[in-house]
Amino acid sequence: MAEPHKPEIRGTIIHGSESTCSIDVPAPCGLIIFGASGDLTHRKIAPALYRLRKNRLLPESFFMLGTARTAMSNAAFRETLRAAVQESLPDEFRNEIWDSLADSFFYHSIAYDDAAGYQHLQKRALELTHRFGTGGNLIFYLAVPPAVFTDVVTHIGQVNFSDGVREGFRHIVIEKPIGHDIDSALAINKTLRAVFQEHQIYRMDHYLAKENVQNILMFRFANAIFEPLWNRNFIDHVQITASEKLGVEHRAGYYERAGILRDMFQNHLFQLLALTAMEPPAEFVAGRVHDERMKVFQSVRPFQLDRLLEHIVLGQYGRGSMNGVDMPAYREEHGVARDSMTPTYAALRVMIDNWRWKGVPFYLRSGKRLAQRCAEIAIFFKPVPHLMFSRLMHDQIEPNTLILRVQPNEGMSMSIQVKNPGSRLCLNTVLMDFTYPRSVVLSEYERVLLDCMQGDQLLFVRADAVTLSWELLTPLIRATESDAYPKYFPNYAAGSSGPVEADALLSLDGRSWRPL
């Protein structure tokens, strides 16, 4: 039988008044990027700076001082960044905007373990501070591999970057991975805290800066109609997905040691979990929001290591085909061991033992080389309590679902039941759908840079959350890396929806995944 037609109700964005939607331009500042010759600076940071300038969100008084080991002139540095930005933003790139921005870009090569190099760097930064009138405000951005975090942070601490300037803030941005397990995470946080205070440290999780992730709290707490339903009385279960079509790309060196649980769960998926499950903070300010996110981690039921297979399914992609193109297996990717046991997929059942969520499973899944690129939070409501239509209808009534789409097509949709026009009694599931227009979405890196310039830590991760998420996951990861967890890899084909065992994880509970 043909699928019944499902009408779609499309939403439109209603722009609010200036006061609710405007973004303040931050105060003047300088940005020192460690690792400026690398991929992150080229693919993410430079395009974000370009878009901020284009949208007049970057302070007029601004400079960026790039540092890395490679020797390079200012001109060569600017040229490589120009090419990178042009490639990232082909439709938006304008020479005049680029030229005005590139005039404030400088390069200074440094050996990360050479103390004298940091003295020179400080002098250079001071000279630029005066020349651009940035008032001493300075951001250190660590776009370097974790192996040199400690060197860089310790040396920054040994040089007086306040020398010659009376005022100004010092902020440091640090990207994941923050540690490999609980011990290394504690060590990194200790190094950071030896030099900076917590209010100066911006631990970045780029998922928190995604437009629709920020929207989760607005959606939950700025609409009176959802919060009364947001609990175990009305919600059957929650599915949080971050699936990728990409494979390991050129990052085997890092990924082979990390695997999916460290790469995606300890940070991104756990943060989505916290935002979905947290209590309303009294105020929408960083400290209060961080406190509530922390309480979710404190309520997560520790994973039962003697019953691993009931809570977690791991996978690794084998050969497959995507859009008619043959894809190699993970073990055939460049830099990956031929007998690698690194998981590229995981599905995990998480229980939150608190008043609101007792008994409601949160199913988290993430994987590489899956059928679709999709990040979403799907709230499955309970079925209606009594089927008054049951004598006339054969089927069950589909329970309502609410999907918060993180990407692509940032937005949300809600499935509801309506009567089909015409026929006497026939229900149909329709979607109320809202999609953000692309033009209003700030990229994650634009958001992160802006917030760090403005001193707003709301979208960053506090030290205690890093510690607690590692405390929860480290025993689980160690157990899955031991023989206690039998692995028959590869166990899913590139381009598929993941291992069949992941379906079993839900079917044991009488549920099924939303199709990818």
Q: Which residues are catalytic, by number?
A: 268
Nearest approach, Cβ of 375 to ligand BG6 (angstroms)? 6
Residue whose tokens read 């700025």: 222
Nearest approach, Cβ of 49 to ligand BG6 (angstroms)? 19
**Binding interface with ligand BG6 (CB under 6 A):** 176, 206, 244, 263, 375
d(CA 138, CA 35): 16
* CB nearer ligand BG6, residue 151 or residue 444: 444
Nearest approach, Cβ of 444 to ligand BG6 (angstroms)? 7
Q: Is 329 helix (H, G, I), strand (E, B) or coil?
A: coil
Q: Which one, of 259, 420, 224, lies nearest residue 330 by Cα?
A: 259
Nearest approach, Cβ of 406 to ligand BG6 (angstroms)? 8
* CB nearer ligand BG6, residue 42 or residue 206: 206
Q: Which one, of 140, 136, 187, lies nearest residue 162 by Cα?
A: 136
d(CA 291, CA 462): 9
* CB nearer ligand BG6, residue 244 or residue 471: 244
How far is the CA of 130 from the CAs of 97, 99, 127, 166, in angstroms? 23, 21, 5, 12
* CB nearer ligand BG6, residue 38 or residue 281: 38
Which residues of 387-506 form beta strands (DSSP E)? 401-407, 411-419, 427-435, 460-461, 492-493
Cβ atoms of 33 and 143 closer than 8 Å: yes
Nearest approach, Cβ of 251 to ligand BG6 (angstroms)? 7
What are the two backbone dihedrals, phi and then psi, of residue 371, each rounded to the nearest 5 degrees?
-65, -35
- Residue 461 CB contacts under 8 Å (≥ 6 apart), including other chains: 178, 203, 204, 205, 208, 267, 271
Nearest approach, Cβ of 152 to ligand BG6 (angstroms)? 20
d(CA 453, CA 449): 6
What is the maximum span of the chain, computed from C-alpha positions, in angstroms? 83
* CB nearer ligand BG6, residue 351 or residue 516: 516
String of DSSP letters for 130-169: HHHT-TT-EEEEE-S-GGGHHHHHHHHHHS-TTTT-SS--
d(CA 451, CA 460): 9
Nearest approach, Cβ of 176 to ligand BG6 (angstroms)? 6
Cβ-defined contacts of 478-483 (< 8 Å, 24+): 478/181, 479/303, 479/305, 479/308, 480/261, 480/308, 480/312, 480/314, 480/343, 481/341
d(CA 312, CA 277): 20
* CB nearer ligand BG6, residue 271 or residue 496: 271
* CB nearer ligand BG6, residue 151 or residue 263: 263
- Residue 185 CB contacts under 8 Å (≥ 6 apart), including other chains: 178, 179, 466, 467, 470
d(CA 319, CA 332): 9
Nearest approach, Cβ of 445 to ligand BG6 (angstroms)? 10
Cβ atoms of 335 and 307 closer than 8 Å: no
Sign of CA dihedral 387, 388, 390, 393: negative
Residue nearest to ligand BG6 (CB): 263
How far is the CA of 4 from the CAs of 250, 270, 384, 395, in angstroms? 44, 37, 22, 13
* CB nearer ligand BG6, residue 236 or residue 263: 263
* CB nearer ligand BG6, residue 155 or residue 206: 206
Nearest approach, Cβ of 267 to ligand BG6 (angstroms)? 7
